[in-house]
Amino acid sequence: MSLSHSRPPGRAPLVLFPALLGLLFCLFSVGGIEPLCLTAGCHIYAGYSLFGLPFYALGAAAFGLIFLLALGSFRSSGARRLLFWVLLAGLLIDTGFLIWQVLFWSCLSCLLVATLFGLAAAGAIPGASPAGRRLLVTFLGLWLVAYVPVVVATAKEILLPPWALVGPADAGIRVYFSPTCPACSETVGKILADPVVAKLTAFYPIAKDEEDGRRLAALLAQGEVGLTELPELFNTARPETGAPSWGLRVQLARNKMALARMGVATIPLVLSSDVIEVSPPSTETGNIPPWLHPDAAELAPGPGCGVEQPEAACQ
């Protein structure tokens, strides 16, 4: 019994259109035009190749072959059979690459290519024989198991990036901290004590409890927050303030999500693309931040605080 199309597929456009779109997108991407390169994985996978050919070139060849076979399937049973097996093989290969993205970096451009391939394979189901439909559905089911986690990871990276309270979006140094974490106050204080390093740093607040949220809400209520206002977060004598808004809670949740993606559960966390050299604070009277001990020598003292623990659990 044949597993491929048992008759000329009247629904061939269901295969043709995704294949044509995939071919065009891959050709544009081979030429360096990537309009949907919004995730870190896009830049990384752009340099991947197999047998000396970029992945997008291989994708263009695969989509081109599928498009030609779908056209030929109107008249040729051989083309219909070959299209069926090419789609099955492609689903298997694409499932492997989706699993790779689950384990490493997600890629929006790659996800679009996978979506178009999945649509092309699904479009072949109506014209296949009963046995062929079962195989296609099985392979598509396995493909979906890997596809859905990549969609979720990509959506989180694009729609829920971490939120910096202070600092440039392209900062070379990123600091995750909590206003009620003693180790965080010392780390932030040392960075702020060096104006050169401070200007290169973005500060991402973490609310491990309600007090953190209230301090951040009170500071934001005063207006624009800059490096000079940041130390106010560590003032233990702050007056009682209201609860943070839902908008602020969402922004703070995004920062916790970023830590979770990195597998980090304690703060402070200092991320840098280079070695940080912080100048020691001056010992002259008035030049030492009130929350920074003058004898502290390490950038990240102690184990810090858990991102979901109360202040009493900090070390």
* Measured distance between the N- and C-terminal CA atoms of the chain, rounded to whole angstroms: 70
Count of beta carbons in the 10 Å neighbourhood of residue 263? 6
As a whole number of angstroms, the distance between CA 193 and CA 198 comes to: 8
User: Which of 158-167, 182-191, 199-208, 271-280 has the weakest average pLDDT?
Assistant: 271-280
Average the pLDDT over 249-266 and give the result.
92
pLDDT exceeds 50 at position 10: no
Which pLDDT score, from 0 to 100, does residue 275 have?
Answer: 66
Q: Is the dihedral of CA 309, 216, 252, 193 positive or negative?
A: negative
Which pLDDT score, from 0 to 100, does residue 303 have?
Answer: 64
As a whole number of angstroms, the distance between CA 28 and CA 201 comes to: 36
Place of tokens 């303030």: 241
Contacts of 186 (CB under 8 A, 6+ apart): 291, 292, 293, 296, 301
Q: pLDDT band for position 271 (50/70/90)?
A: very high
Amino acid symbol at 85: W
**Is 307 or 27 the better-scoring residue by pLDDT?**
27
Count of beta carbons in the 10 Å neighbourhood of residue 118? 21
User: Which of 74-83, 218-227, 236-245 has the weakest average pLDDT?
Assistant: 236-245
Q: pLDDT band for position 74 (50/70/90)?
A: confident
pLDDT exceeds 50 at position 134: yes
As a whole number of angstroms, the distance between CA 176 and CA 164 comes to: 9
As a whole number of angstroms, the distance between CA 194 and CA 199 comes to: 9
Cβ distance 44 to 142 under 8 Å? Answer: no
As a whole number of angstroms, the distance between CA 133 and CA 74 comes to: 18
Which pLDDT score, from 0 to 100, does residue 289 have?
Answer: 52
Which pLDDT score, from 0 to 100, does residue 4 have?
Answer: 54
As a whole number of angstroms, the distance between CA 91 and CA 97 comes to: 10
pLDDT exceeds 80 at position 66: yes
As a whole number of angstroms, the distance between CA 6 and CA 314 comes to: 68
pTM of the model: 0.77
Residue 42 corresponds to which tokens in the numbers above?
């896009």
As a whole number of angstroms, the distance between CA 274 and CA 285 comes to: 32
- What's the mean pLDDT when you consider all of the chain? 84
pLDDT exceeds 50 at position 116: yes
Average the pLDDT over 240-267 and give the result.
89
pLDDT exceeds 90 at position 184: yes
> For 226, which DSSP code?
-
Q: Where are the alpha helices (DSSP H) in the chain?
A: 13-30, 40-45, 55-72, 77-103, 108-123, 130-159, 182-192, 195-199, 210-221, 246-262
